[in-house]
Amino acid sequence: MALQKWRSFARLLCVAVMFGVCFAMLAAVIGIRSPWLGLLLMFYFMGLAKVAEPLVMLRMPPALRAVDARRVKQGLYRWLGVRGFGALLRNTPLRLFNTSVYRAGGKRTLAELARQIESAESTHFWAAVLFSPYIVLVWSRGFVAEAILFIFVQIVFNLYPFLHLRIVRARLSKLDLKN
C-alpha cells in the first residue's frame, strides 16, 4: 500500500513538473500577460486534481455537498437541458474525458463510484470558482472577446459537467451504496 502511495505521489510530481515546464515555455512564447495562460492553468488544475485522486480527492463545500434528488429533476436543470448534456457525454467519445465516473462493467462498487463522481463534481466546482475571477480580470483588462470565450468555456467545461454530476449523485443517493 505504501508503495502505491509513493507511485501516485511520484506520478503527481512528474505531471506537476511537466505542466510547470510547459507553462513556462508557452509563457516565453506568448508572453506572461497573455490571457490564454489563465485558461491553461484552469485545465492544469483539473488535470492535477485527477492525477492526485489516489492521494486526495477534492470535496464539495459542506453547504453544497448534499444533493436534493427532487430539485435536480425540475426547474433550472430541466430548463438548461442538463440531462441532454449528460446524454451527449454518455453516447459519444466525450465519455473518455473521465472514465472513472462510469461503473466500468460492474468492476467498481457503487460506493467507489459515488466517491469518484463527487471528486469529479468537486473538481469542476473548484475550477469554476478559481477561473471566474480570472475571467473578470481578463474582461477588465480589455480582452472582451477572450473573456466572452472564457465564459463559454466555463459553461461547457465546468458548469454543465458540475450540474450533470449532481444529477448523477442524486440518482446514486437513492441506491444502497454498499454494492
pTM for the predicted model, two decimal places:
0.88
Range name among 1-5, 114-118, 136-140 with the lowest pLDDT average: 1-5
Q: Which three cell numbers stand for residue 46?
A: 483539473
Q: Which of 71, 12, 77 is nearest to 45 (CA)?
A: 12
- Range 31-40 average pLDDT: 94
- Range 112-119 average pLDDT: 88
41: phi then psi, degrees, rounded to nearest 5: -65, -35
Range name among 18-27, 29-38, 39-48, 67-76 with the lowest pLDDT average: 67-76
Residue 100 pLDDT level (bands cut at 50, 70, 90): confident
More confident residue, 8 or 114: 8
Residue 20 pLDDT level (bands cut at 50, 70, 90): very high
Rounded Cα gap, residues 120 and 56, in angstroms: 12
More confident residue, 103 or 153: 153
Confidence check: pLDDT of 137 > 60: yes
pLDDT at 148: 97
What single letter denotes the amino acid at residue 126? W
Rounded Cα gap, residues 17 and 29, in angstroms: 19
Please give the mean pLDDT across all residues of the chain: 88
Confidence check: pLDDT of 172 > 60: yes
Using CA atoms in the order 1, 60, 39, 5, what is the torsion angle rounded to 10 degrees? -10
Angle at 137 between CA 59 and CA 77, to 5 degrees: 45
pLDDT at 58: 93
Q: Which three cell numbers stand for residue 116?
A: 469518484
Residue 1 pLDDT level (bands cut at 50, 70, 90): low
